[in-house]
Structure 1
């Protein structure tokens, strides 16, 4: 029987044995499983980032892929452990704590099942309440990927309305003024990725080579305001200069040429980080 890929995401990091233990549990279920890492560098407890990274990645994996996402500040509480089936026919094993926000909005979820821990829990782990990533999620995800259980074997179905989601600001445009959200960082380089579609930007009359005024606010406190070039690539700016560009997801992004915009201006991500873009008459 063909095995489905198993993809792991956590906020555990790789400095101890936590992720390795999840691998071990999965391989113990079936040594022929193919296991891959999405990331284990989600900022600790940051459910928003976990939700975004799933949405960023899922389209590029074949149908039937099992994703395990463990960013779980509520571990040991009465929050539900679930497996969600998406409209794209992928499965996400996760706490029901907001991790499904971006997937539910952009792709859609067709069914949600609670993990029945009487059946789908690592044997002899019943007294552990703080490592569900290993004892419940890795074990259930591996059993599902290996075909040891089908989706119905996960546990009882619940209504999709019970999915917990985080506030998800949209983007908007009017008379050349664009409002959006700082959704995520291109972490290694410190670029800001917004939720503003390139098409929206173009429809409002912006073109490559234009200068725009960019303002960034957090809880109505202005964190940044400047005139920035809208360019195709970093080659159009000098070292240390800012640039507005289109990222790999066809969204607008803000960067500093060979610098970290996020670090330079202490910009973070989430529903309360907003960006405003307007036309500028400035030209260098």
Structure 2
């Protein structure tokens, strides 16, 4: 049985498995067999299929809102069965991350402060038979469950240097004479287009132009005002807003911006002064 301290933190799961198949449920069954008292929280199983970047962003935006020492099991793994390593990461903030070494864990773990990384090789802490296509069930779920139970991370396999794992770098906005050019890095389930332009960058840009009014263009289209809330725009009208990510996003009031603009990850987003052109 877990100690009261251990039972105070959950085991949280994020995958691209979707909700149609048995994959996510089977992983939870493995966890229940090893750590039956673990409290499981599904962050999401709706990460776009094989989108490591979307999964990494979702994990980065989630981890800090969980109790210290939460174990995060993340599986978006298009390289399953290849030479990519299965890893676990312990952080200075207390959070532990388990998943493939393909950049999926990097944004969150780096933000939390990487303390130790191991390669998951211990045969005692995985299923006896390991499939070439379902490491979520056979390697990652057991490792996460044993970590939750109190198994030291060092028991799961040999240590790795932080410089040896895949580091995911998101594109950065580029500032020119009269604009900040960024791009969409994430599309949420509402079709909101989240860019890589953060509020601080926008504020610094505005200061350069003595706080002149700013507007936003996506894919070189018509200018949009930056509003404080989705509801500040009329229904069906495009708008820009700094959302819960702390990043500039393009939305449609009561609509889907991704469909409206035929836009997605990589689409250009520009912040300009009212007189600026993209």
Distance 2:240 2:227 in 1: 6
1:41-94 Cα deviation digits (max 9, x unpaired): 111111111111110101101211110111111111121000012332211101
Q: Structure 1, residues 140-168: CA drift from partner, whole Å, max 9, x if none? A: 10111111x11111211011111112342
**1:108, distance to aligned residue in structure 2 (A):** 3.6
SS of the residue corresponding to residue 119 of structure 1 reads helix
Matched, 1:71 2:76: yes
User: Structure 1 residues 181 and 213 mapped into 2: Cα distance closer, same or farther (>3 Å)?
Assistant: closer
How do 1:130-279 and structure 2 match up within 5 A?
Answer: 130-147=133-150, 149-187=151-189, 189-205=190-206, 210=213, 212-216=215-219, 224-269=220-265, 272-279=266-273
Of 12-21 and 34-43, deviating more is 12-21
Once the two structures are superposed, the pairs formed by residues 4-83 of structure 1 within 5 Å of their partners are 4-83=9-88
Structure-to-structure mapping, 1:102-117, within 5 angstroms: 102-103=107-108, 106-117=111-122
TM-score by length of 1: 0.87
Moved more, 233-242 or 251-260: 233-242
Q: CA RMSD in A?
A: 2.2
Q: Secondary structure at the match of 2:194?
A: strand
Three-state SS of the structure 2 residue aligned to 1:225 is coil
- The ranges of structure 1 where at least 4 consecutive aligned residues each deviate by more than 3 angstroms after the TM superposition are 104-108, 172-176, 206-211
CA contact (8 A) 1:69 1:92 kept: yes
Q: How many residues align?
A: 269
Report SS of the residue matched to 2:98.
strand
Shift of residue 213 of structure 1? 4.3
Distance 1:246 1:208 in 2: 17
Structure 1 208/243 Cα, relative in aligned 2: closer, same or farther at 3 Å? farther
Shift of 1:133: 0.5
Q: Distance in 2 between matches of 1:97 and 1:229?
A: 37
**Unmatched runs of 5 consecutive residues or more in structure 2:** none
Please give the alpha-carbon distance, in whole angstroms, between the structure 1 residues aligned to 2:46 and 2:241: 25
Q: Work out whether residues 184 and 196 of structure 2, in 8 Å CA contact, stay in contact via their aligned partners in 1.
A: yes
Deviation at 1:262, TM superposition (A): 0.6
In structure 2, the CA distance between the partners of 1:154 and 1:85, relative to structure 1 (3 Å rule), is: same
The match for 1:280 is: 274
Check the 8 A contact 1:10/1:69 in 2, yes or no: yes
Unaligned runs of 5+ residues in structure 1 are 217-223
Q: How far apart are residue 125 of structure 1 and its match?
A: 2.0
Q: Secondary structure of 2:61's match?
A: helix
